[in-house]
Copies of this chain bind each other. A is one copy, B any other.
Amino acid sequence: MADESKKWVLMVTAQTPTNIAVIKYWGKRDETLILPINDSISVTLDPEHLCTTTTVAVSPSFESDRMWLNGKEISLSGGRYQNCLREIRSRASDVHDEGKGVHIEKKDWEKLHLHIASYNNFPTAAGLASSAAGFACLVFALAKLMNVKEDQGKLSAIARQGSGSACRSLFGGFVKWIMGKGDNGSDSLAVQLVDEKHWDELVIIIAVVSSRQKETSSTSGMRESVETSLLLKHRAKEIVPKRIIQMEEAIKNHDFSSFANLTCADSNQFHAVCLDTSPPIFYMNNTSHRIISCVEKWNHSEETPQVAYTFDAGPNAVLIARNRKVASLLLQRMLFYFPPTPETDLNNFILGDKSILQDAGIKEMKDIDALSSPPEIKDNANVPKYRGEVSYFICTRPGRGPVELADASQALLNPETGLPK
């Protein structure tokens, strides 16, 4: 090891995307190892709009493992963090940084402590899979720091032990989490189906829905579903395996109709299973239902699907548009039905890729009020609007997997002290 009297700090900063499942993961066969009861498929969201940035640091001066999330220190004592740290440490290799004169040997990692700082560029509590991006980023950054030689698939199996869906955030594009067969979880890992360039016409709009309800956590929700839903077993065993094959085919062939039908049906079936749980779990609310109705009506009128919707363990809608043109028409519809409250700043109402707003012909708030009702609405006289039911929209697209950020200015920890900047 390097001279402990020298107060060096070695660090790595990485950025990892979040992902949204289009064939859902719901139900574990092993609670500790986080092994699922079915395969799932997700699309990785562009980290430019939704991502976690994590800096991990090691120094002989650190007295314990510590972590800060969005600037606030949090406990690392939870089993999920401990599992990830243990698994990564056990795979660490020698690290030599000649510039800093740092030499860490494989065996030293067990004794050295870590500082971790993590930051989401989107609201943590908005139900946008922050834990997926978070654990993926933690594992990816630590693997770089500790010179772990395993491939991304193996790393995904470690991230999985932090948060199941985190394993899918180790890759860009479309990703499959293979449930695996073994009891030790080594074959339950993510693989990339296609990268983010394969189907780059797709545009994704997330509607963050206002909600008064406190939601059931997905961890306890899926445990209760496994214990009580008679439909879940049938779904996992008989329905999902067929859908996985169909979805892979649809993605490979850019077959949007099939992709949209499968995505919507699988989201609805996941929520059906939640409802079949005792006591029943409601993640979608009236606003979610209205968004679905709007999309279904439009898709029906066009005869071929224009937009797919999917909802995770909360009321937010993730809408996937066939292409950019459709995305601007979708945004018009969403803004027509769900205009912002009067005090809202348009700039805070549409986040992410704001250029879609221009395509939709919206420059200022009065352009939203001037939107006419969509052509698929027959009874124009009495179209209800639901002002304020959507808090904001995020416009994004399929994106890349994790990257290391070489630029030291992006680190979240002070390179001298190893404490948050």
Q: Which residues of B contact A261 (CB under 8 A)?
A: 278
How far is the CB of A56 from the nearest CB of chain B, in Å?
38
Q: Which residues of B contact A353 (CB under 8 A)?
A: none
A211 — nearest CB in chain B belongs to which residue?
B286
How far is the CB of A115 from the nearest CB of chain B, in Å?
36
Q: Which residues of B contact A282 (CB under 8 A)?
A: 289, 292
Contact for A300 among B238, B268, B279, B300, CB less than 8 A? B279
How far is the CB of A24 from the nearest CB of chain B, in Å?
13
Contacting B at CB under 8 A, from A260-291, are 261, 264-265, 268-269, 271-273, 275-280, 282, 285-286, 289
User: What is the total number of copies of this protein in its complex?
Assistant: 2
| Complex interface: stretch among A88-96, A187-195, A228-236 | A228-236
How far is the CB of A71 from the nearest CB of chain B, in Å?
27
How many angstroms from the CA of A276 to the CA of B212 in the assembled complex? 25
Q: Which residues of B contact A235 (CB under 8 A)?
A: 230-231
Q: Which residues of B contact A293 (CB under 8 A)?
A: 279
Q: Report if A359 contacts B (CB, 8 A).
A: no
How far is the CB of A382 from the nearest CB of chain B, in Å?
11
Contact A269 B264 (CB under 8 A): no
Contact A271 B275 (CB under 8 A): yes
A386 — nearest CB in chain B belongs to which residue?
B212
Q: Report if A296 contacts B (CB, 8 A).
A: yes
Contact for A292 among B231, B264, B279, CB less than 8 A? B279
Contacting B at CB under 8 A, from A321-355, are none
A sample of 20 more A-B contacts (CB under 8 A), given A230-B238, A268-B278, is A230-B239, A230-B269, A231-B231, A231-B239, A231-B269, A234-B234, A261-B278, A264-B278, A264-B279, A268-B275, A268-B280, A269-B276, A272-B276, A275-B275, A279-B292, A279-B296, A279-B300, A282-B292, A285-B286, A286-B286
22 A–B contacts from the bound complex (CB under 8 Å): A212-B384, A230-B235, A230-B238, A230-B239, A230-B269, A231-B235, A231-B269, A231-B272, A234-B238, A261-B278, A268-B278, A269-B275, A269-B276, A271-B275, A272-B272, A272-B273, A275-B275, A279-B293, A279-B296, A280-B292, A282-B292, A286-B286
